[in-house]
Amino acid sequence: MSEEKKMQPPDWTGVERVLVIMAHPDDPDFSCAGTAIQMTAQGIAVTYMILTNGDKGNHNPLITRNQLILMRKEEQRAAAALSGVKDVLFMDEEDGFLRPTPEIRKRVCREIRRIRPQLIICSSPERYFSGNGYINHPDHRNAGLVAMEAIFPAADNPMFYPDMANEGYLPHKISQLYVSGHDDADVEVDVTDSIETKIRSILSHKSQFPEPEQMEKWLKERWGEKQEDGTLRHFERFKGLRFDRPRGRPTEEEKKEDEK
């Protein structure tokens, strides 16, 4: 039987700017709002990048496409503000048809070079299912691919998009990457103290939740993890990657793996 992987607390030493790259309005709030709340409270500047315009996120035929796009942008800005996030970027790709094209990769790379974040949070490109009753949206997977392909090999390589240097956007290498929804998560953020605000940020997306009271109850029950003392705590977990170590120097965990 394999040894259970030990969760590590987050290390935001030297992190001043964070970029969250997600597919739809409300995706950052579900995946990492609790983490964003803690970051902004510590003075870290967090930016949300929403890759699609969210124009498929409703089943009401009385709402037009343009009305829904505007509505979802307003909802996302309101939700972000609750988490202390001041900047929200909308890349306006069509909802439901996001693909890791060269065009969107270049646009995302430009923003990485402009913002120069030390840490990026994105969705997992490997997650097809969640539990036994949910097929993961293809935009979620492709958003992870868009983010990762912009980070590497493009963002820190001057051979990619040399025209950006003329715009003042020089190559930039991030220090950390958090992948949300990954089966091999190893970074754990305790968001118990901010769970109420996280849920309020989610419920800011009124176009998505016609019965907010029931949704709030369901979220608390779904996410609460009972502890040995009987209390409930809430966590956000990520697969964490670090790129700030000298190349070739293994971590203690990697050394142990090599010894097995």
49-86 pLDDT, tens digit each: 999 999 998 878 888 999 999 999 999 999 999 999 99
Q: Is the pLDDT of residue 1 over 50?
A: no
Spell out the residues 6+ positions from residue 73 whose beta carbon is closer than 8 angstroms to its own: 25, 53, 54, 88, 90
Bridge partner residues of 189 (DSSP): 236
- Tokens matching residue 236: 């956000």
- Tokens matching residue 215: 């949704």
Task: Pick the more confident residue, 33 or 227.
Answer: 33
2 domain residue, yes or no: no
What residue numbers bound the domain in which 222 lies? 17-259
The confidence score (pLDDT) of residue 157 equals 97
What's the pTM value of the predicted model, to 2 decimals?
0.90
**Separation between Cα atoms, residue 55 and residue 25, nearest integer Å:** 10
85 domain residue, yes or no: yes
pLDDT mean over 95-118: 98
Q: Is the pLDDT of residue 220 over 90?
A: no
Share of the chain above pLDDT 70, in %: 92
- Tokens matching residue 68: 């829904």
Residue 3's pLDDT band, with cuts at 50, 70 and 90, is very low
Q: Measured between alpha carbons, how far is residue 249 from residues 71, 157, 177, 253, 254 in Å?
A: 48, 21, 18, 12, 10
9 domain residue, yes or no: no
142 domain residue, yes or no: yes
17-60 pLDDT, tens digit each: 999 999 999 999 999 999 999 999 999 999 999 999 999 988 78
Q: Is the pLDDT of residue 254 over 60?
A: no
Assign residue 138 the CATH number of its domain.
3.40.50.10320
Instruction: Specify the residue for token string 């509505």.
Output: 71
The confidence score (pLDDT) of residue 80 equals 98
- Tokens matching residue 214: 């029931």
Q: Measured between alpha carbons, how far is residue 233 from residues 39, 220, 222 in Å?
A: 19, 10, 11
Neighbour tally for 33: CB within 10 Å: 30
7 domain residue, yes or no: no
4 domain residue, yes or no: no
154-193 pLDDT, tens digit each: 999 999 999 999 999 999 999 999 999 999 999 999 999 9
- How many domains does the chain fold into? 1
Q: Tell me the chain's radius of gyration from C-alpha atoms.
A: 19
